[in-house]
Amino acid sequence: MFTLVDKNVIVTGATKGIGYGIAAVFATAGANVAIAARSQPDIDTAVTKLDALGSGRVIGVTVDVADPQSCQAMADAAVAAFGGIDVLCVNAGIFPEASLDTMTPAGLASVLDVNVKGTFFSVQACLEGLAKSGAGRVVITSSITGPVTGFPGWSHYGASKAAQLGFMRTAAIELAPRKITVNAILPGNIVTEGLIDKGEEYLASMARAIPAGMLGEPEDIGHVAAFLATDEARFITGQSIVVDGGQTLPESLDALTG
Ligand code: NAP
């Protein structure tokens, strides 16, 4: 039980951060993994590292998820390489900071294009492959920001992450007859390259706000994605799972220090 050997998986935004962690878990579990992002040098580096992890194949595909034709080319490349698509991890996302005072229409549009439209385009492009699988899985990387919490400077990002859940619930109903499940993971603060650059004191102060006393690792998200991708998870659809070390639980600071 719980095997992912020979599953054909696409992970968008898999060259770094959470996407890389998801791809690493699938590769280690013996799946064939297509990692997709925009930067070719980053793709080449990630493919080399991931290829050493498991028995399956790892390929790199360039994609801009905001472009539907590019998403179609990504899906076609995975089908050409592996023969099909069983799992799509919709993970690519951007999170530029902008307060409501400074946010421009172009800045708002780019966040919605990548995070919201990119979710639609990625799933639409992979639909045929996922349906042929007979056990198709879509796993969306949303966030606690938006669906559960707010953070000044990220209203557009929060709106985009909440929109992914709205998409998920209807997509789950539409795709259930084709045996495709659609679920979402809501990560809390996960240690990625961008956060590490902010220094140890910054990371330590973030960890103090989390009951578990630590930030999550990209693989913490990857392991949940892997479970949702198994055949055994076939009866779970349209659901979201918070993976945050308890970050969203305290009702006040007293709950953390008491
Ligand atoms: P990251 O380290 O910045 O990595 C983002 C990945 O997405 C990169 O591989 C990037 O590669 C790719 N990407 C960006 N725009 C793209 C586009 N238009 N088309 C295709 N690929 C694109 O990000 P992260 O922190 O791991 O976040 C990944 C996901 O997790 C996002 O959806 C984010 O909302 C969510 N999340 C993150 C955290 C956290 O603590 N880090 C918490 C909650 C949710 P290229 O630039 O080469 O395209």
How far apart are the C-alpha atoms of 19 and 21, rounded to whole Å?
5
Q: Supply the pLDDT for residue 198.
A: 85
Nearest 5 degrees, angle CA 61-CA 40-CA 53? 65
Average pLDDT on 155-165 reads 98
In a domain, 258, yes or no: no
Asked if the model's pLDDT at residue 256 lies above 90, the reply is no
In a domain, 256, yes or no: no
CATH no. for residue 23?
A: 3.40.50.720
Q: Supply the pLDDT for residue 92.
A: 98
Domain count of the chain? 1
pLDDT higher at 31 or 55: 31
Q: How confident is the model at residue 258 (pLDDT cuts 50, 70, 90)?
A: low
Average pLDDT on 18-29 reads 98
In a domain, 250, yes or no: no
Q: How confident is the model at residue 246 (pLDDT cuts 50, 70, 90)?
A: very high
Predicted confidence (pLDDT) per residue in 41-70, tens digit: 999 999 999 999 988 999 999 999 999 999
Q: Supply the pLDDT for residue 1.
A: 82
Phi and psi, residue 90, nearest 5°: -85, 95
In a domain, 24, yes or no: yes
- Among the listed residues 26, 82, 121, 157, the single catalytic one is 157
In a domain, 246, yes or no: no
Ligand 1 atom 31: the closest Cα is on which residue? 93
Ligand 1 pocket test, candidate residues 25, 38, 156, most atoms within 8 A of CB: 38
**DSSP symbols for 35-72:** EEES-HHHHHHHHHHHHTTSSS-EEEEE--TT-HHHHH
Average pLDDT on 198-220 reads 93
Q: Supply the pLDDT for residue 54.
A: 86
User: 19-58 as b/e, with b when 16 or more CB fall inside 10 Å?
Assistant: bbbbbbbbbbbbbbbbbbbeeeebbeebbeebeebbebeb
In a domain, 254, yes or no: no
Average pLDDT on 92-100 reads 97
Pairing of strands 87-90, 8-12: parallel
Q: Domain range holding 194?
A: 8-241
Predicted confidence (pLDDT) per residue in 7-22, tens digit: 999 999 999 999 999 9
Predicted confidence (pLDDT) per residue in 213-231, tens digit: 999 999 999 999 999 999 9
In a domain, 249, yes or no: no
Q: Supply the pLDDT for residue 88.
A: 99
Asked if the model's pLDDT at residue 257 lies above 80, the reply is no
Is 157 in the active site? yes
Asked if residue 92 has its Cβ within 6 Å of ligand 1, the reply is yes
Give the HSE-up count for residue 229: Cα atoms under 13 Å, Cβ half-sphere.
34
In a domain, 248, yes or no: no
Asked if the model's pLDDT at residue 38 lies above 80, the reply is yes
Asked if residue 13 has its Cβ within 6 Å of ligand 1, the reply is yes
Average pLDDT on 177-191 reads 98
Provide the mean pLDDT of the chain. 97
